[in-house]
Amino acid sequence: MRFVTFEMGNEQRIGLLLEDNQVLDLQKAQELMENQITLPNTMIGLIQLGESAINKSKEILEWIQIGNGEGAIYSLDQDVHLLAPIPRPTKNIFCLGKNYAAHAKEMGAEELPKYPMVFSKAPTTVTGPYANVLSHKEITDSLDYEGEMAVIIGKKGTRISKEEAFDYVFGYTIINDITARNLQNNHKQFLLGKSLDTGCPMGPAIVHASVIENAHHLQVKTTVNGELRQNGNTDEFIFDIPTMIASISQGLTLEPGDIIATGTPSGVGSGFNPPKFLKVGDVVEVEIEGLGVIKNTIVE
């Protein structure tokens, strides 16, 4: 199942992304099916419900697949448009730095990290999978892209073991970790350079973990104006997903809806000579096998 947050009129709702560019409104479909609504109207609320929400969503999906659900299925873009699956995370986004060896090298690392390198992006960075991204040209001339797979945490946990880590994964999505390289370098830390408004396009959906056979073998591609810049695979991780979850959670409680961005492959703009930074009008697409595509235009 592919869970989405969408907007219809001025109202945010949650649903399932279907084939043929359609969206199923989960609450509306449940009302039609059962004459009641027990599912929440936010993605974090749905994740917090855990297995009961997943099971109910499966029932609804099976119900509409046999020809029901008229009035609860909308056309994407014509009737509704997608927002980020989690439009406003409750915490900063956890991000893995230099988690692909080739990317670490292109960023000047002389040796690979011995422990996961974790930094964060502010929750206010999040924007939709097809939204415009601000250039912030007043403060940066070195805006860069980083296509990444993100892990969505499904239940609360502290000191999670590697062996149990996947039990805490709700699903996966795509983000573009937009970065102002000059701010990153000038301030000698990552928060400001990583936290510009609109600096985290996300989506198009959270693909439930049950759909993804092997999260450690997904192709990750980023293009700018159709030019292939990044072409990696999650099997290149230096630190795998269980290691990420175990490391972050040792003294910090992970909660439903928390987001862990798993790092980016080589091919970022700053890795070229001369650098290929983003400019107004550029169209950036990040595609991850099994998760879909996000597409964003850089604007003033």
Would you tell me how many other CB atoms lie within 10 Å of the CB of residue 217? Answer: 13
Task: Supply the pLDDT for residue 110.
Answer: 82
String of DSSP letters for 209-272: GGG-S-TTS-EEEEEETTEEEEEEEGGGBSS-HHHHHHHHHTSS-B-TT-EEE----S--GGGS
Q: Record the tokens describing residue 260, joined without a space.
A: 């862990």
Angle formed at CA 202 by CA 199 and CA 206, multiple of 5 degrees: 160
What pTM, to 2 d.p., does this model score? Answer: 0.97
pLDDT band at 294 (very low <50, low <70, confident <90, very high): very high
203-262 per-position pLDDT tens digit: 999 999 999 999 999 999 999 999 999 999 999 999 999 999 999 999 999 999 999 999
Give, in words, the CATH class of 93-299: alpha beta
Give per-residue pLDDT as tens, 20-32: 899 999 999 999 9
Distances (CA, A) of 122 to 88, 93, 203: 10, 6, 17
Q: What percent of the chain has pLDDT over 70?
A: 100
Q: How far apart are CA 73 and CA 178, in angstroms?
A: 33
> pLDDT tens-digit profile of 112-165?
999 999 999 999 999 999 999 999 999 999 999 999 999 999 999 999 999 999
Residue 190 pLDDT level (bands cut at 50, 70, 90)? very high
pLDDT of the residue at 28: 97
pLDDT of residue 107: 86
Beta strands (DSSP E) in 122-199 are 126-127, 133-134, 143-144, 147-153, 169-176, 179-180
Q: Cite the residue boundaries of each domain of the chain with CATH code 3.90.850.10.
A: 93-299
What is the rounded average pLDDT for all residues in the chain? Answer: 97
